[in-house]
Amino acid sequence: MKRKILLIYTGGTIGMEKNHETGNLVPFDFRHILNKIPEIDLLECDVSVHPFEKPLDSSDMGPEEWKIIAECIGKNYENFDGFLILHGTDTMSYTASALSFMLKNLRKPVVLTGSQLPIGDLRTDAKENLLTSLYYASLYENDEAVIQEVAIYFEYKLLRGNRTLKYSAENFDAYQSPNYPVLGQSGVHLHVEKEFLLRPKSDEKFSTDTHISKDILFWRIFPGMSPEYFEKLPKVKVLILQVFGSGTIFNSDKTKDILKKLRENGTEIVVVSQCVSGAVSFGKYENSSIFQEIGAVSGNDITAESAITKSMHIVDNQNYTGTFSENFSKNICGEISVSLK
Ligand code: ASP
């Protein structure tokens, strides 16, 4: 049976080709993608293309575009077996993370991919990324989708979207998922690591919840930073602090007083690590106990991209009962390891 895939084209390098007169890279009309990659016809799926009106560099994408994509998937959920999103690589991990929170009880594949070189380039990585993504997006067994989550496929690896980060602006192998195993690997054979795949936690039907607040701030501390800077930050609902190692910060009374005041004024503080691998562990060192004392939330082993989009999604969201801290600490869709402390 031929599976039906909706390909949502948002922009990025993948959709560009060289204008041979000017030598510039320009976006091409993605409705004609099927002519560019005739190999698509050989796959066991029918592809419908839904292009963004204006293709975007992914650095221009954010909450509005995440909502548009989530709503497009919501509207077309029943009519398609899988979804493929072509996206610029720079912010793909943010979009994948945001979508993972917005698409509830997903039972169909949502795969994002892009490329480091345009599809028209002789050495392009776009074709392999696109064709194998289509394969994963249309993979079914016993009439059930094998992938039931938001994933990124890039350079032979299928990764959980909300565990990824772009770590190379140069290599074809541009994404990592440092705190979660690879979901699938493409070599001579296409593998899926079934034990690591996400399954919906409840029998509830698929739905979308596109709540996203922009009332958050992300701040990376650095050696020598004056704690007074914290007083100069704009007032926000959620302040995500990216601190050292397993959750440490300069240990002064001043720091404690200022952060305490922020908490008393209603700011939620989430703590994530500047290390991309491993986890925040409050209390491991004296220099992290300050966070326990002020009632900050540990981001544990979550990525910065997921911490940002998760905070945006849960803060002031009427669909979540309980406190911000309780909701942030929960594993919503595989983005955080809850057993770590
Ligand atoms: N700047 C581009 C983007 O993120 C880079 C890419 O697509 O690889 O849209």
Q: Give the position, in ligand 1's atom list, of the atom nearest the Cα of 92.
A: 4
Taking the C-alpha atoms of residue 18 and residue 264, their distance in angstroms, rounded to an integer, is: 56
Pocket of ligand 1 (CB under 6 A): 11-13, 57-59, 88-90, 114, 116
Taking the C-alpha atoms of residue 287 and residue 269, their distance in angstroms, rounded to an integer, is: 16
Taking the C-alpha atoms of residue 297 and residue 327, their distance in angstroms, rounded to an integer, is: 10
Q: How far is the CA of 13 from the centre of ligand 1 (A)?
A: 5
Number of H helices, E strands in the chain: 9, 20
Q: Give the position, in ligand 1's atom list, of the atom nearest the Cα of 56.
A: 9
Taking the C-alpha atoms of residue 18 and residue 20, their distance in angstroms, rounded to an integer, is: 6
For residue 341, what pLDDT is reported?
43
For residue 74, what pLDDT is reported?
98
Q: How far is the CA of 255 from the centre of ligand 1 (A)?
A: 38
Ligand 1 pocket test, pick from 9, 52, 60, 90 with the greatest ligand atom count within 8 Å of Cβ, gives 90
Residue with tokens 């704009």: 234
Q: How far is the CA of 61 from the centre of ligand 1 (A)?
A: 11
Domain residue ranges in the chain? 3-208, 216-329
pTM of the predicted structure, to 2 decimals? 0.96
For residue 340, what pLDDT is reported?
43
- Could you give the residue numbers annotated as active site? 13
Phi, psi of 8 (to 5 degrees): -100, 115
Q: How far is the CA of 103 from the centre of ligand 1 (A)?
A: 24
The fold of the 216-329 domain, in CATH, is Rossmann fold (3.40.50)
The reply to whether domains 3-208 and 216-329 share a CATH topology is: yes
Instruction: Name every residue whose Cβ is closer than 8 Å to that of residue 309 and which is 6 or more positions away in sequence.
Output: 66, 94, 97, 98, 101, 162, 212
Residue with the smallest CA separation from ligand 1 atom 3 is 88
Residue with the smallest CA separation from ligand 1 atom 7 is 88
Ligand 1 pocket test, pick from 89, 117, 119, 125 with the greatest ligand atom count within 8 Å of Cβ, gives 89
Q: What letter represents residue 183's amino acid? A: L
pLDDT tens for the chain, 341 residues: list them.
899 999 999 999 898 877 788 877 777 777 777 677 888 888 889 999 999 999 999 999 999 999 999 999 999 999 999 999 999 999 999 999 999 999 999 999 999 999 999 887 889 999 999 999 999 999 999 999 999 999 999 999 999 999 999 999 999 999 999 999 999 999 999 999 999 999 988 889 999 999 999 999 999 999 999 999 999 999 999 999 999 999 999 999 999 999 999 999 999 999 999 999 999 999 899 999 999 999 999 999 999 999 999 999 999 999 999 999 999 999 999 999 986 44
Helix (H) or strand (E) holding 36, with range, is helix 33-36
The fold of the 3-208 domain, in CATH, is Rossmann fold (3.40.50)
